[in-house]
Amino acid sequence: MELNQLLVVIDPTSNDSQPSLERAAWVAQRANSAIELLLCEYNSVLDGGYFFDGPAQQKARDSLIKNRTKWLNTIAQPLRAAGLNVTVEVRWGKPLYSMILQRIDELKPDLVLRDATTHSLFQRLFFNNTSWQLIRQCPVPLWLVRDGEWKGQRICAAVDPIHSSDTTAVLDHLLINATGYLAQTLGMQADYMHSYAPLPRTMIFDAELVAAYDNYVERSAKQHREAFEKLMVNYPIEKANRHLLEGFPEESIPDFVKERGIDLLVMGAISRSNLENALIGNTAERILEAVQTDLLVIKPTRPQE
């Protein structure tokens, strides 16, 4: 992972604060990164000719884009004055996630930052939420920024050494290496965790299986512990910074993040197109709704099924 070029998605509806821009500036000051501010604008009134003829409509649209560019340069100026390399880009079009992905393909940034928001299951099902679409489709690391106080002290990677989703363990190693790099570059303390959940006793109805449940739990714990240790064995990471959690990830990980004061949680995500994923979402999506901290989502470097 590198931090040479950052792409920050600016929210045109917010005049008060831009958490993703604040975070990008924090990163750039420590990693000497270049920053591009991307604003995507669209208004149906200026697209369709209902109230304007062709030339007038184009003139109004150009005026809007010019105004937005001026505004971006205004918020970029303090960063430039601090010595950062900041450029701006305004695009017209929709949907927002498609415009962002288009610019990613052109600019090829090392990292994309965007403000994080939570939305309903109904919205996710019909694919009209930018954050969920970027989690699924963004080809580079995606930093979803929470509003609130930023300490920038602790970073934690959540890995899956059993490889229930990533059969070759490529993703786990990407997460570990990226977390180590970010910790060193940004001056953060790094932790590494794995969370697993045995099948609850209440879901077992066979008498023989109920009788053997305690042995099953013990075997499950041993399997996950050994897999976690095997994954971490070649990394110079202190045992005090390795954490094996028992519990459903969407519950145990947010609890761990809160208790340990984690500022940035690093997770992997693998896109799927089946209906089950559309309804339930993958683990990274469910945890995003539960954690109250920044989330860095990293995808495999090659397709995974």
Peptide bond between residue 303 and the one before it cis (omega within 30 degrees of 0):
no
Q: How many domains does the chain have?
A: 2
Question: Are residues 22 and 108 located together in one domain of the fold?
Answer: yes
Last residue in a domain, options 96, 123, 148: 148
By the 8 A CB rule, do 129 and 119 touch?
yes
How far apart are alpha carbons 304 and 169 in whole angstroms?
A: 11
By the 8 A CB rule, do 104 and 139 touch?
yes
Question: Are residues 164 and 143 located together in one domain of the fold?
Answer: no
Question: Are residues 27 and 144 located together in one domain of the fold?
Answer: yes
Two tokens at 92? 């017209």
Nearest to 24 by CA among 91, 66, 82: 82
Mean pLDDT of the 180-209 span: 80
How far apart are alpha carbons 114 and 127 in whole angstroms?
A: 18
Please check the confidence at residue 211 and state whether its pLDDT lies above 70.
no
**Which of 127-131, 158-162, 195-199, 261-265 comes out lowest in average pLDDT?**
127-131
- Which helix or strand (DSSP H or E) is residue 265 part of? strand 264-268
Question: Are residues 96 and 134 located together in one domain of the fold?
Answer: yes
Q: What is the pTM of this model?
A: 0.87
At 49, which CATH number?
A: 3.40.50.12370
Q: What are the φ/ψ torsions at residue 67 (nearest 5 degrees)?
A: -65, -40
Question: Are residues 139 and 205 located together in one domain of the fold?
Answer: no
The predicted-structure confidence for 110-134, as pLDDT tens digits, reads as follows: 999 999 865 555 444 443 478 888 8
Question: Are residues 50 and 99 located together in one domain of the fold?
Answer: yes
Q: Domain residues for 92?
A: 1-148
Please check the confidence at residue 195 and state whether its pLDDT lies above 50.
yes
User: What does the pLDDT read at residue 276?
Assistant: 41
Please check the confidence at residue 280 and state whether its pLDDT lies above 90.
no
Question: Are residues 18 and 66 located together in one domain of the fold?
Answer: yes
Last residue in a domain, options 148, 166, 199: 148
Question: Are residues 155 and 290 located together in one domain of the fold?
Answer: yes
Question: Are residues 23 and 52 located together in one domain of the fold?
Answer: yes
- Which helix or strand (DSSP H or E) is residue 98 part of? helix 96-107
Last residue in a domain, options 148, 167, 200: 148
Q: Which residues pair with 245 in a beta bridge?
A: 195
Question: Are residues 172 and 267 located together in one domain of the fold?
Answer: yes
Please check the confidence at residue 2 and state whether its pLDDT lies above 90.
yes
Mean pLDDT of the 207-226 span: 75
Question: Are residues 179 and 285 located together in one domain of the fold?
Answer: yes
User: Using 50, 70 and 90 to split pLDDT, how confident is the model at 188?
Assistant: very high
| C-alpha pair distances (Å), 212 with each of 47, 221, 268 | 66, 15, 34
Question: Are residues 3 and 136 located together in one domain of the fold?
Answer: yes
